[in-house]
Structure 1
Amino acid sequence: MWRGLVQLSGRVGERPGQAGRYATERRSAITPQRGKRLGRSRFHFGQAGSQRGEGGAVSASEVDLGGLRGEIRRNEPMSAHNSWRAGGRADRYVRPADIQDLCDLLQRLPNDEPLLWVGLGSNLLVRDGGFAGTVIATQGVNAIEQVDHDRFRIEAGAACNKVARVTAKAGCVGAEFLAGIPGTMGGALAMNAGAFGGETWPLVSAVETIDRDGKIHRRDANAFRFGYRHVEGPMQAGFVACELTVPKGDTEAAQTTIRALLARRNATQPTGLPSCGSVFRNPEGDHAARLIEAAGLKGRCRGAACVSEKHANFIINTARVEDEAHANDIEDLVIEVRDTVLARFGVELRPEVRIVGERA
């Protein structure tokens, strides 16, 4: 899952066990109302944000960003802003102070400026050659507000684990699984992030999106379709906030569930080492970790990048110093794992991680 305020994916997979506007089959994206099936797409590493336009466009370096209240940095090392602790530099890194600051930023940037939206960077790798564009970090867009007894307005930069704690403390039950997602609500919305059997979009009643002109649009959740790690809906630049409906329940039980989920995560995942979380989505009827382990890839390394011995769907960065950590090694290992599983079992694993930028 990539976390933060993100571009909508444009594809949908499946949503288990839901009625109404949700798909009713475990591995299907059909709803009676829409009567349309969208299958799983092929594996690819996508480039984030908009592509550069042809000649005549205004360079972002020529744009005056004076007056913005957030942080602005040039030639920023993205290894400091992703959980793999590896990767190249970004031409420009901006952390807006709040939603209005974000709107002001987008209104000033050229429409063809490549953008990379980043939350906690827990599902992101920037190649060693860097990102030739503007990184927009969303940690300042992070308000959480209880607007009714069971409704919460959550901004895109709010950490998922904080959302779980706030809703549980308010006596609401159903968002505890968010404690197991090491990212922000923007990324959770963009890919229908899930953990421990829970998923984001069943809780969503409305969203706010932002376009490349810095305008905010509010939309009901039924304007979108979602499935397993996919969301499809009206295309804007990204999600800026959402409204979650979390039913009232037992506060103590919810907090106990959160503690149990975190203990389970710590027991089964290499949480103390730099990683992006799960690298691949689970294929239909199976688990990526099982296939990777069955292919004999546990412990396989490329440079400092290694397939975790604790959980085979994690690739960890074992470098002791930053200069030893190379995004190329991580990407090469991701590709090796994918190709080996495909050759052994005929199953093509699809990544959850976004790999962007240029190879060095």
Structure 2
Amino acid sequence: MSTSASLQAASTAPEPLPRRAAVPHELLVQATVPGLLRLAALDWVWMGACWLAMARWPWVTPLAVLVIAGRIHALGVIFHDAVHLRVRRKSVGLRFVEVLAGYPVASTWESTRYHHLRHHHDAGLPTDPYRRRPLHGWRMARAWLLLVGVVPFWVLRGPVGLLAWAVPALRVPYARLFLQARASIEGAESKEGRAHATPDGARPLIHAPASAGLKESDEVRACACSELGQVLFHLCVLALAWRWPHAVVWGYALPLLVASGFNAHRLLAEHTPAQAHGRTLADVLAVTADHGLGWLGRLWLAPRNVGCHVVHHLHPQVSLEHLPRLRAWYVARFPSHYPSPRRF
């Protein structure tokens, strides 16, 4: 190859990726508890309007179920934002977020942080609790069917967790089954530990301790203790179902199942089967994917901008409301490297 041809090839080659991008500070707007409460209140207003419409005009029930399912999915996304807040303990406001956005999707703040923050720290690595093999055809359909049952299955986590809180011998199966603790790292859970930094370089949010085990882990015990709120919430739902079974089935149970289907689609769409080799910008771009950026995403499949998933993994503390601006910056800055949205 001639010198001029070599220079031309070098000039057209994509700019090499840095380990981390120097993002303007004004794009890194973090979520706040008041902001999350405002978003959750809006979704509850939508659901309340649908319940009233179903009571007055029964013929709108199928459409109302879909709208409620989308808002339940949105509540889960709002709660997901709360999990990434830079706090160690739940404030009064954060407890309200948990009640409004966490319990309806059978989640507690402690239990969700346990597996979700580990996923962010180890995305695409063998220790990633969400890591999956490549799926195609019927394997993909089977995975989706299995994931549809995840949210209803989480309802069982509450009573099992309370039993595990009282009976230490149950903490290992509780952690493995409901917190996605990996058996290969069970020996790495204890009271001491070293802190893990988040992917965007923020201060440590979780601990990956270094001795004892799941049975003696303070973190697992805190997760089990936190299940009390979820159990009380669903006992109230059962009491309402005893009095108004038709309303609860159509107004909550069926929409929750539909929302679980939306959630299953999202989990399969936003992560690729690629294996990461570290925690660099290139690794994140390889193992995550954007999806649901159109109107279907806004309503059902990826509400509250959670479909901007690549930049969410790059900057987990950035509020979901500000992810589109952050994504636009990365697309403009790294056009040759930033992956195209996934049509799933």
Q: TM-score when scaled to structure 1?
A: 0.29
Q: Identify, as 1 or 2, the structure richer in strand.
A: 1
In the superposition, the TM-score normalised over structure 2's length comes to: 0.29
Which structure's CA Rg is the greater one? 2
- Structure with the higher helix share, 1 or 2: 2
